[in-house]
Chains A and B, each alone.
Chain A
């Protein structure tokens, strides 16, 4: 049989690399590559490209997976962060959750911004409360003590009238009972 020329080999090289040829053709191409430096050089460079491409593809794939993993992690942690930020600022979380919030604030600039916004907002609230407190002009404490002592004084006549009423009731009851006793005896 006639040997393969360079054109034929170059056309078949991709199939050769992907091992999609018959054993007979593979043997002939191997024979040609051993004898022709040009085609061997071409073959080696094609192998390198394929290898690089595969590495690149693998790299991209794992990167995608990593990104996906990181994104899921970040999303989950951010949701947790948002849910617990308020309690974190009130010091109402346990140690483990406390550290989790702190770590995430370091990791995520968005979370850090949320935290800073919330702290600023609370400061404004505190300032507002202080201002409102300063707006009570009248001293109510003396007034309250006055009311308290007046109420206590007022309570005494009440007790007195109550006592008089029960006394009256007692007299009536004894009177009625005595009459009844007299009547039946």
Chain B
């Protein structure tokens, strides 16, 4: 089955979607493979509990797999996928607010105070991009984003990480475009302020 697997790897997302919708399980698997990192990163910046990220990613992928046939236009896949992500995130928030003592026990210990600012300065010449910033800076950025109010957090992550338009974010979060616009602008200002000592 190696050569056919290779064939799937070369396909575009919309091609994979159409095949997956016609019960091609290998196409579906490849689609999930290409999207999983994205979903994983999105949850990493949304939720506070690290162990939840993998579970949420798994659950989102499962929902994609189960409901792929309900997606009418493959062009809307990204927006559709992020509606699933947003729903799961909101569900998670509801769960957390019901049992508040659990978060305090499992809360991450992220206060890494032992680093110097020089260590976290980005190297502008390096490639690929993920090597450019240190893990410390990545953790700081995660921390700053996760400490934003949830609506700001979700708007900035859907915009910057998922590259959704204001219109798509408005749909996913059930708010107006004007609200999305101001949430993103304010989230950026807050983050820039919070990170100015590190970048």
A residues at B contact (CB < 8 Å): 83, 85-87, 90, 92, 117-118, 120-122, 124-136, 138-145, 147-149, 151
Provide the residues of chain B in CB contact with A126, threshold 8 Å: 129, 160
Is the CB–CB distance between A127 and B133 below 8 Å?
A: yes
Interface size on B, residues (CB 8 A): 45
CB proximity of A185 to chain B, nearest CB, Å: 53
Is the CB–CB distance between A139 and B188 below 8 Å?
A: no
Complex CA gap A87/B122 in Å reads 26
Provide the residues of chain B in CB contact with A143, threshold 8 Å: 58
Complex CA gap A142/B30 in Å reads 9
Complex CA gap A138/B159 in Å reads 26
B residues at A contact (CB < 8 Å): 25, 28-30, 32-33, 36-38, 40-41, 44-45, 54, 57-58, 61-62, 65-66, 122, 128-133, 135, 137-138, 141-142, 159-161, 165-166, 181, 184-185, 188, 191-192, 195, 199
Is the CB–CB distance between B62 and A133 below 8 Å?
A: no
Provide the residues of chain B in CB contact with A147, threshold 8 Å: 58, 62
CB proximity of B70 to chain A, nearest CB, Å: 15
Main DSSP-derived SS at the A contact region: helix
Is the CB–CB distance between B161 and A124 below 8 Å?
A: no
Complex CA gap A122/B33 in Å reads 26
For A141, give its contact among B30, B181, B188 (CB under 8 Å).
B30
For A124, give its contact among B38, B57, B141, B165 (CB under 8 Å).
B141
Is the CB–CB distance between A87 and B130 below 8 Å?
A: no
Q: Write 9 A-B pairs (CB below 8 A) sorted by A numbering.
A: A121-B199, A126-B129, A129-B160, A131-B131, A131-B133, A132-B44, A139-B33, A147-B62, A151-B66
Is the CB–CB distance between B129 and A145 below 8 Å?
A: no
Provide the residues of chain B in CB contact with A127, threshold 8 Å: 122, 129-130, 132-133
Is the CB–CB distance between A130 and B141 below 8 Å?
A: no
Is the CB–CB distance between A144 and B188 below 8 Å?
A: no
Provide the residues of chain A in CB contact with B141, threshold 8 Å: 124-125, 128
Is the CB–CB distance between A129 and B36 below 8 Å?
A: no
Report the nearest B residue to A136, measured CB to CB.
B40
